[in-house]
Amino acid sequence: KRETCVVTKNNDKWGIVSTDGNATILVPFIYDDMTWFVCPVVGVKKEGKYGYIRPDGNLITPIEYDGIQFFDKGIFWRGAPSYSRFERDGKYGVIDYDGNYTPEHFDEIIVEDTDGALKARIGDQIAYITKEGNLDIDECDAWYVYQEI
């Protein structure tokens, strides 16, 4: 049985509760901010820093980034964007719907509607981002925004 849940606020803190009729607390109300439920990746803010958790409260990334942004490009699954960008000290990384993420070493993340692949810039080099977080000029190795469902 799959448990459903919802992001909610209590006493100025955010958490996640089940929608099973009992409102069981799945993620304690400890976050200063939280993205609306973006299954299975939820962006959170705590003490001025950002990170990503699962709806059960398990950390995907450390909560140490300066900012996060979910993109609305690509196919949506139950209203969820297929990836998000995070930033620390002026450098960017990307996390996908499954919780896979790159190091934050890109100067810019670029999304083009024409081919649906993620591109990034490091210095003067612009190329496709691979799942390993590298740049590659070969589109065949690109990490695609458009995910099949």
Tens of pLDDT along 62-109? 999 999 887 654 433 334 446 788 899 999 988 877 778 888 899 988
Average pLDDT value for residue range 115-135: 78
pTM of the model: 0.75
Q: According to the model, what pLDDT value does residue 42 have? A: 86
Q: According to the model, what pLDDT value does residue 22 have? A: 85
Q: Are 54 and 99 in contact (CB under 8 A)?
A: yes
- 1 pLDDT more than 60: no
Percentage of the chain lying above the pLDDT 70 cut: 74
Pick the closest to residue 41 from 88, 68, 9, 80 (CA basis). Answer: 80
Q: Order across the sheet with 13-18: list the strands.
A: 5-10, 13-18, 25-31
